[in-house]
Amino acid sequence: MLKKLLVANRGEIAVRVIRAAKDLGIKTVAVHSAADATSLHVLLADEAVNIGPPAAKKSYLNIDAIIEAAKSTGCDSIHPGYGFLAENATFSDAVTAAGLVFVGPSGDAIRLMGDKVSARSAAAAAGVPVVPGSTGRVEGIEAARHILIDTGFPVMIKAAAGGGGRGIRIANNLAEFEQAFPQAEAEALAAFGDGGLYMEKVIGKARHIEVQVLADGKHAIHCYERECSLQRRRQKVWEEAPSRALSEELREELCGSAVALAKAVGYSGAGTVEYLYDDEANRFYFIEMNTRIQVEHPVTEAITGIDLVSEMLRIAGGEPLRIRQKDVSVRGHAIEVRINAEDPSKDFAPFPGTVGDLRLPGGPGVRFDSMLYPGYQVPPFYDSLLAKLIVHGETREAAITRLVRALGELKIDGMKTTKPLFLALAADPSVQAGDVHTRWLEGWLNDNAAKLAD
Ligand code: ADP
Ligand code: ADP
Ligand code: MG
């Protein structure tokens, strides 16, 4: 078992990981930038180390400073959270080379599955259906034109190193394509330090459905699926489990394919295999694998009763996977919404500020994962996620009713948040019926965003 863990992250996920570690009796060390000296993760950890100035490049992305902090405080392990260095193979390797345990997959596994192009090939090789498109990276516009024969229009140009909904462009015709391709290349290089591109047919009216896996390098299980079809700019804003779109038969097939893939690559730790599901054609396609804990993992915890971060820590500590597939079962329905410091009535403009009066939701079936406390100053340098509200109920209807109740209890004075968005979505007939797809919210926002004032 691990004894002392450094958490290489900030915000709600650093708090989440610190809690899981403490529940296992593991000592915790927080790292923070100069802007985060009084952040909740710093206040909750047993020790804290300042690793640099506010800019993430100089602090939360500073591999040397983080490893030095772990060594100087006598840690035996590092958990990367999500974002920042979580899917950085160099970091995983550097942690291991320093004689520490990386709570996540090996550098090689991240290189294989974190690169979206090689992951696509690995999925295809494991017999998992992928979206029609390019094989390998597309080298130059000439090669790209050939692939259009398979994809047709609209076509997606995607960065091999992309993530978080960034590095994706759609071209509706040849003229748009000729213009978009070189732009995508330059952008990918600038944003991710890697200009590698690939192409996929656009699956219209798809649902985003992903499968949570846990593996120890030998064994792999799944913890069922999450549906994350409500997205803005290809980023999830509302996630739930289970998906109401899957039949039992399809659920087994989908979850089975994720386990097969995890086994085929000898995966270790927690991971998520993401798919697009086309309701009408009743087909699913692999899109990518996230080799880390995801933002939306609590909805799976709610319906399965498994503490995913705790299992990650146990696996990293050398314990074999202790959960059998037959012991994973689903109870009820869970929904998570992302409470961001953004003004939804002003095109989701960031709204950093100081938390005034604060009233948190609670009671049966409610979990609130957050970094908030009264007087906390939200720094302007990082992601705008403040909190995640997770509700659990016996049915999807009960979960939505509970969501509205919990949102009503929540009061964050001092800043605009995305709360009005979720109250409006919970009242929408299409959301209530679960009749949505990945581009549904875009259209809905065109008609309704102006009404979302707090
Ligand atoms: P990221 O690494 O940014 O998460 P993904 O490849 O997972 O990128 O895609 C993010 C979102 O973009 C998906 O959830 C989906 O909404 C949309 N998307 C991605 N690929 C396709 C596709 N081939 N057809 C239609 N939508 C897609
Ligand atoms: P297989 O042996 O069929 O390739 P695995 O070895 O991955 O598959 O796991 C077989 C089943 O045993 C899985 O469904 C999994 O639930 C369960 N299992 C999980 N952890 C262990 C473990 N440490 N030892 C044995 N079986 C495990
Ligand atoms: Mg994704």
* Type and span of the H or E element at 444: helix 440-448
The atom of ligand 1 lying closest to the CA of 133 is 23
Asked if residues 280 and 245 have their Cβ atoms less than 8 Å apart, the reply is: no
Nearest CA to ligand 1 atom 6: 287
What pLDDT score was predicted for residue 28?
99
Residue with tokens 């939306």: 296
CA–CA separation, 452 and 46 (whole Å): 41
The vertex-160 CA angle with 64 and 156, nearest 5°, equals 150
Distance of CA 265 to the CA centre of its chain: 21
Nearest CA to ligand 2 atom 4: 219
Which domains are delineated in the chain?
Answer: 4-103 (3.40.50.20), 132-201 (3.30.1490.20), 206-452 (3.30.470.20)
CA–CA separation, 211 and 309 (whole Å): 16
Which DSSP symbol is given to 173? S
Of 251, 292, 367, 402, the active-site residue reads 292
Instruction: Write the CA distances from 190 to 179, 203, 381, integer angstroms.
Output: 17, 27, 19
Dihedral (CA of 300, 306, 310, 311) sign: negative
Nearest CA to ligand 1 atom 12: 234
Q: Which residues contact 150 (CB under 8 A, 6 or more apart)?
A: 132, 133, 201
Residue with tokens 């050398």: 318
* Type and span of the H or E element at 197: strand 197-201
Protein residues whose CB sits closer than 6 Å to any atom of ligand 2: 219-221, 263, 320-321, 324-325
CA 204–ligand 2 middle distance (angstroms): 37
Asked if residues 229 and 208 have their Cβ atoms less than 8 Å apart, the reply is: yes
Distance of CA 244 to the CA centre of its chain: 20
CA 165–ligand 3 middle distance (angstroms): 7
E strand residue ranges, 129-165: 155-163
Which DSSP symbol is given to 354? B
Mutate to test the pocket of ligand 2, among 319, 324, 328 (most ligand atoms within 8 A of CB): 324
Asked if residues 198 and 208 have their Cβ atoms less than 8 Å apart, the reply is: no
CA–CA separation, 248 and 195 (whole Å): 41
Nearest CA to ligand 2 atom 18: 324
Asked if residues 82 and 295 have their Cβ atoms less than 8 Å apart, the reply is: yes
CA–CA separation, 15 and 64 (whole Å): 23
What pLDDT score was predicted for residue 352?
86
Q: Residue 158: nearest ligand to its CA?
A: 1
Q: Active site includes 292? A: yes
CA–CA separation, 199 and 159 (whole Å): 9
Q: Tell which residue, 158, 280, 151, 303, has the closest CA to residue 227.
A: 303
For ligand 1, whether the C-beta of 154 sits within 6 Å is: no
CA 215–ligand 2 middle distance (angstroms): 9
Q: Which residues contact 139 (CB under 8 A, 6 or more apart)?
A: none
What pLDDT score was predicted for residue 441?
98
Asked if residues 259 and 222 have their Cβ atoms less than 8 Å apart, the reply is: yes
**Counting beta carbons within 10 angstroms of the beta carbon of residue 86, is it exposed (0 to 12), middle (13 to 18) or buried (19 or more)?**
buried
CA 165–ligand 1 middle distance (angstroms): 7
CA–CA separation, 82 and 302 (whole Å): 19
Task: Output the DSSP codes for 221-238.
Answer: EEEEEEEEEEEETTEEEE
For every one of its 454 residues, what pLDDT tens digit does the chain have, with 9 covering 90 and above? 999 999 999 999 999 999 999 999 999 999 999 999 999 999 999 999 999 999 999 999 999 999 999 999 999 999 999 999 999 999 999 999 999 999 999 999 999 999 999 999 999 999 999 999 999 999 999 999 999 998 999 999 999 999 988 999 999 999 999 999 999 999 999 999 899 999 999 999 999 999 999 999 999 999 999 999 999 999 999 999 999 999 999 999 999 999 999 999 999 999 999 999 999 999 999 999 999 999 999 999 999 999 999 999 999 999 999 999 999 999 999 999 999 999 999 999 999 899 999 999 999 999 999 999 999 999 999 999 999 999 999 999 999 999 999 999 999 999 999 999 999 999 999 999 999 999 999 999 999 988 887 6
For ligand 1, whether the C-beta of 268 sits within 6 Å is: no
Dihedral (CA of 188, 194, 196, 200) sign: negative
Q: Residue 20, by phi and psi: left (phi above 0), alpha (psi -120 to 50) or beta?
A: alpha
Please tell me the pTM assigned to this model: 0.95
Cis peptide before 154 (omega within 30 of 0): yes
Q: Tell which residue, 397, 452, 378, has the closest CA to residue 422.
A: 452
Instruction: Write the CA distances from 33 to 103, 170, 234, 367, 381, integer angstroms.
Output: 22, 37, 29, 28, 10
What pLDDT score was predicted for residue 434?
97
